[in-house]
Structure 1
Amino acid sequence: MDKVIMKLASERAVVVFVRSNCGMCHAVTSLLQGELGVNAAVHELDKDPRGRDMERELSRRLGGAAVPAVFVGGSLVGGTNRVMSLHLAGDLVPMLKNAGALWL
């Protein structure tokens, strides 16, 4: 399942794995797509036949909650706490620029 996740995670500069009914997932995708204007690929695991297996693998990699799982430049950045911490510290936008997700 790791190969499937990594293949999906490399399809765009920013890829987010979510569940459609997850409030924190909505907050992270709103930040990335709405506020920052990133054209992220969003994969709803609860609507994918392989979603349960991917969610288990993401949970293992994140050491807890599986969603949201944010990949930037093909590398796992983390979940809500990590993304919000990077944003508040002013480190998220430079990371997105380096990955080619922003041209500001």
Structure 2
Amino acid sequence: MDRVKELASKKAAVIFTKSSCCMCHSIKQLFYELGASPAVHEVDRDMAYGREMEWALRAMGCNPAVPAIFIGGKFVGSARDIISLHLDGTLKQMLIDAKAIWF
């Protein structure tokens, strides 16, 4: 869990994904379209820590484990949570407040 927290705090927007996950791809695209450039960590490609990170994400309450999104170092949620935030207009402001996008 320490590795997840360390990686999540290194950039304003961080997404933990799997390379084969279509929802992960969609969430990454949403962030790019909003102008953010998130740090993306593919847990299935990290041979040293991937499985451990996936377990840590589940322990943090992310089910399924990916996509797991952190903004400003804080766990925001999974794809469903991000889509809800985007639809109600608060996601963009969260990204601005965390300095993940500028206007």
For the aligned pair, the TM-score class normalised by the smaller chain equals over 0.9
The Cα shift of 1:62 comes to 2.1
Q: Secondary structure at the match of 2:94?
A: helix
The Cα shift of 1:102 comes to 1.1
Distance 2:30 2:15 in 1: 12
For structure 2, the 5+ residue unaligned runs are none
For structure 1, the 5+ residue unaligned runs are none
Q: Secondary structure at the match of 1:103?
A: coil
The Cα shift of 1:63 comes to 4.6
Matches within 5 A, 1:80-99: 80-99=79-98
Q: CA RMSD in A?
A: 0.8
Larger helix percent: 1
Q: 1:20 to 1:63 in 2, by over 3 A?
A: closer
Taking every aligned residue pair, what percent have the same amino acid on both sides? 45
Give CA deviations for 1:50-95 in whole Å, capped at 9, x if unaligned: 1111101101212520000000000000000000000000000110
TM-score (norm 2): 0.95
What is the number of equivalent residue pairs in this alignment? Answer: 102
Distance 1:96 1:83 in 2: 11
The answer (yes or no) to whether the contact 1:16–1:69 under 8 Å persists in 2 is yes
Runs of 4 or more consecutive aligned structure 1 residues displaced over 2 Å after TM superposition: none
Distance 2:13 2:40 in 1: 9
Matches within 5 A, 1:3-82: 3-33=2-32, 35-48=33-46, 49-82=48-81
